[in-house]
Structure 1
């Protein structure tokens, strides 16, 4: 028998809510302490894109991103959540400005971390120049915030994944949590196929896409620090873990990252498929990785132990 709605605790509701399926606002509502979220530049201010009307495209009053502050386990945090169901969570002028402003506020305060809930296909083609500029401004704002001592944590598990400029921004974060659905890449499958041919990458091969760009592969590579199951409570717990693990940022972090990337290229550069990389990592049955339940995969990832506390 199902318990009455009023008897379900926030943690139980968060545990039963898919991060992948939830809207940006639902993710924030369940991720943060109950009733603590305060939105900045909300829909009532009608800060919409100045470009979409030119193309006769629909606007959204929050321009596809929700920003504000709240509490996580009693501690203050700044938060931003992209809405993947509006233009694929793509970056435009207003969308990007809201995130840039939030990061600059965090830099000025210097002691409140930032959580970014990525759900984006990259830059809006209709706002190409403004969107590309927004990506550059956000990346700079992330690095300036981290230099000022702010932890910037990325949570990736939405419908649109984390592609294009979003993948670049994620690479600048202090740490990342990802679910199996949380694909991360600079170029999407269709973009690779269009430019390099289907022989290079078949975008219709969904198994190939997910094992190449999906969260399990990113975790095993060390490109993500924590693997979360597809529910909001798991992402909440992952965020708390990463806030406790992420360290200070400086030149030593950049050097460590360069060494890590050079080592990864040297070790896996000749691998033709993610399965080859998993085999080289010591996974006994690499072909079975995509089908592993979350708890078994977490145990495997922890056993391999490849993780990074550097600049991503």
Structure 2
């Protein structure tokens, strides 16, 4: 049985995704490029600032790749962390690899570096969109234990392909953030079932937020990343209009539903309550009918 992708470290995921021995890291831990802000606050730093970036081969093709380390500050983005991602993307514009693959695991911007982190995320977004506009495939793999939230949740949706595992999570605001702002009555972050129904890979797949749903398996993620490069979709005005139309369809279909189960029911899924217990294959089979129902404003 393969190892769980969610339980791997950032570098273990990288090693599992790219061709064996092909990863060459830029600014590795030995360079000790760390956050100046954390040091000033007396907070322990990481020698790679929580992200590994570099070049590699994927099925023999040259790619640029980055992986966020969720064990360091939840994969939070600070000034140096963000600068490494921006540098990777800008170098991609110069060297034009076959793709840029980002292995995301982040709770968003570090509170310790709030302003610097917010600026960094905006720069990552701009650089990623520049890479897409240049015709280079951008692939986001989401399967870490911490999910992909906050600024990185937005960055993920800027990529042309999003791959998620069935136990992954992706959203703009994390459950704790929503609860602290609006109370547990709005969103109870301790309700694990609610959190996964609302932000999990299965829900994102059924509502069109991700392009591939895989098992929590590095082999499956690797295969999906290779397929994503082959199915690269250029960023065009027509594509943006289709995305906008999908978002409006979701608003129209959702109405005032309080739970994902209610939306799944409106999308024609007969036993919607069983969805969280289904495996990835079974959930994948539900999507065509669900998207068709979305297009019709809900079943």
Interval of TM-score (by shorter of Structure 1 and Structure 2): over 0.9
Whether 2:86 is the aligned partner of 1:100: answer yes
Aligned residue pairs total: 292
Per the alignment, residue 139 of structure 1 pairs with: 125
- TM-fit CA distance, 1:111: 4.5
Moved more, 193-202 or 115-124: 193-202
1:295 deviates by 2.5
Q: Assess if the C-alpha contact under 8 Å between 2:205 and 2:284 holds in 1.
A: no
Residues 283 and 188 of structure 1: CA distance in aligned 2, closer, same or farther (over 3 Å): same
Alignment partner of 1:56 is 2:42: yes
How far is 1:252 from its partner? 2.2
Q: CA deviation at 1:108?
A: 2.1
Report Cα offsets for 1:91-126 as digits up to 9, x if no partner: 001100000011111122334210000000000001
Q: Which residue is equivalent to 2:171?
A: 185
Q: What residue number does 1:225 align with?
A: 211
Structure 1 distance, partners of 2:17, 2:220, is 9
- Determine the C-alpha separation between the residues in 2 that align with 1:206 and 1:83: 22
The alpha carbon displacement at 1:304 in A equals 4.2
| Native 8 Å contact 1:165 1:186 kept in 2 | yes
**Residue in 1 aligned with 2:198?**
212
Gaps of 5+ in 2: 293-299
Q: Give every structure 1 segment of 4 or more consecutive aligned residues whose post-TM-superposition deviation is greater than 3 Å.
A: 301-306
Q: Is the 8 A contact 2:62 2:97 kept in 1?
A: no
Q: Is the 8 A contact 2:56 2:65 kept in 1?
A: yes
In 1, Cα distance between equivalents of 2:262 and 2:230: 33
Distance 1:304 1:190 in 2: 29
Q: 1:43 aligns with which of 18, 29, 43?
A: 29
Which runs of structure 2 are paired with 1:161-310 in the superposition (5 Å)?
161-301=147-287, 304=290
Gaps of 5+ in 1: 1-14, 307-312
Task: Name which of 112, 118, 130 aligns with 1:126.
Answer: 112
TM-score (normalizing by structure 1): 0.90
> TM-score with structure 2 length normalisation?
0.94
Deviations 1:247-285 (A, max 9, x none): 111222222222221121112132221011111221111
In structure 2, the residue matched to 1:9 is none
